[in-house]
Amino acid sequence: MLSRLLPDRDMSEIPENFLPIESIGIEDIDNLFESKRFSQHASQAIDQLITYLGDRSTRGLALTDPAGIRAAVTRLTRGGQTSDTAEHDRKLLEIVDLYLRTGIQVYSPGYMGRQFSGPFPVTAVVDMVSAIATQPASFYEAGALPCVVERVMSEEFNRFLGFPSDRFTMFTTSGGSLANLTALLAARGRRYPQAWGEGMGETDCCPAIAVSSDVHYSITRAAGILGIGENRLVRLPLDHARRITPAGAREALDAAAARGLDVFCIVANAGSTSFGAIDPLDELADMAAERGIWLHVDGSHGGSLIVSDRLRPRLAGLNRADSLTLDAHKTMFVPAACTLLFYRDRDQATAAFRQEASYVFENTSDVYSEYNSADRNFECTKRPMIMSLWALWAMYGRTAIAEKLEALCDMTRKAHGILSVAPDFVPLHLPETNILCFRYLPNEQLSPKALGALQTEIRSRVRARGRFFISKVDIDGVSALRLVLMNHRITTDHIRQMLDEVRAVALTIREEFPQSEEI
């Protein structure tokens, strides 16, 4: 058969991994599904994970040369077929070990750089169950429990969100980027219902979206995908804390209207990715209501503050949004991806899509189809991502999430205090969430370009050392260092040790590039 597919090639020229394989037989394949084999493999992996979880060392990132990882992956991939079960066990051991050694150490107190959380371990157990007991969650008949759980959890969250109980809806999506795109599609559909069938080219106006100048890139992508165009994003001005200024927003919206732009949606942040900033949601809701504009809140990072009685007031006005994105895999500490997308009016969610597919959609509704979410989102085969969050909530209530989140926000404020009294650092804002941006300031005066280059080089060298993992962000064209505290085990001692690491690296850089504007 292979020679007929490749008649002009000598079989010796075909790479080894493309050569025909020896049949192992359906009985041997069936053995791979035996519960005993699964138990052996699961127990082996769990032992490795227990060691991983028990490691309290300060090691934020083990950044490995891609060539080394590629060599290991290639060796494991092309290692040859064998019926030796001991060899299978060894390979799995090596695969899991490679996975754990080369990734971000999310449970280490040295990990301070990204929004990926170290999930509550029990949620990983439920995730494993979901992986084995396949229950796609877009249709009730395929995933009855996940579909019902989504409904119950939506009601739990709405106790704190405050949407109209008889009108709102919530469903899960695979990540905040997809949720943001889905919400903007609904916003477009409300203003331009003909766009689904006829496209945006048939509109007589110039549709536009108003966004924070620190908007997440998924929004700019969505503007392109939806046919709005990135050039029709109306950038709303920010204050010193990187929050939209209401007065500036009004001026920008008026100016956009004067240019002939039809702004149909405002996108606000509830915890911006760069700064953790929370926009003035009440004032923006007023503007949206006055002008008949959809208000979408990207709360991918900070929306989870609603589960904390102490932190919830920071989200005042959130209940007035038309839609809300919330990433549970960030600040609710469950496995990725698990994003919750809320709508004030469920009819708007359904109206966003038009589809005919008799193999999944029914023309009539019944008690089962009322729990389907496929008619409101992009996904058909959707992982039952809600199950891990539900298990955590069912076992511990919202307390475990709220108290961990409060501890992280408190530690971020303490880090701000430490930076404020350090003569060689400057914090750039009072943190509203668990994100804090700052800069190292050397003794000598540097131009903005050189100062930004210094921060970038500091970050690269700290990352290369591997003890701490911090990130960077550009603020008004000048780079800054960025902390995202996701581990409740981080203490003020760890913060001070990280700053000492930055100082040591910065000293080395300045010795290598004395008086240089080009770091």
**How high is the pLDDT of residue 23?**
65
**Cα within 13 Å of Cα(144), Cβ side:** 3
Whether 4 has a pLDDT exceeding 50, the answer reads no
**How high is the pLDDT of residue 82?**
74
pTM of the model: 0.91
Only one residue has tokens 């953790």, namely 276
Question: Model confidence over 193-215: pLDDT tens digits?
Answer: 888 888 877 667 899 999 999 99
Whether 124 has a pLDDT exceeding 90, the answer reads yes
Range name among 32-36, 169-173, 398-402, 418-422 with the lowest pLDDT average: 32-36
**How high is the pLDDT of residue 13?**
53
Range name among 49-53, 199-203, 296-300, 336-340 with the lowest pLDDT average: 199-203
pLDDT bin (cut points 50, 70, 90) of residue 134 is confident
**How high is the pLDDT of residue 18?**
52
Range name among 81-85, 117-121, 294-298, 348-352 with the lowest pLDDT average: 81-85
Question: Model confidence over 16-30: pLDDT tens digits?
Answer: 555 555 666 787 788
Long-range contacts of 43-49 (CB under 8 A, 24+ apart): 44/89, 44/92, 44/93, 44/96, 45/92, 45/96, 48/93, 48/96, 48/97, 48/100, 49/96, 49/100, 49/124
Q: What is the mean pLDDT of residues 460-470?
A: 94
Strands (E), 51-134: none
Whether 334 has a pLDDT exceeding 80, the answer reads yes
Residue of 515, 345, 483, 339 lying closest to 416 (CA atoms): 483
**How high is the pLDDT of residue 30?**
87
- Please give the single-letter amino acid code of residue 351: A
Q: What CATH class is the domain 400-512?
A: alpha beta
State the Cα–Cα distance between residues 305 and 115, nearest whole angstrom: 15
Whether 6 has a pLDDT exceeding 60, the answer reads no
Q: What is the mean pLDDT of residues 30-56?
A: 93
**Beta pairing partners, 165:** none
Please report, for the chain, the start and end positions of each structural domain, with discontinuous segments joined by +: 128-395, 400-512
**How high is the pLDDT of residue 202?**
63
Range name among 21-30, 68-77, 407-416 with the lowest pLDDT average: 21-30
**How high is the pLDDT of residue 20?**
54
CATH of domain 128-395: 3.40.640.10
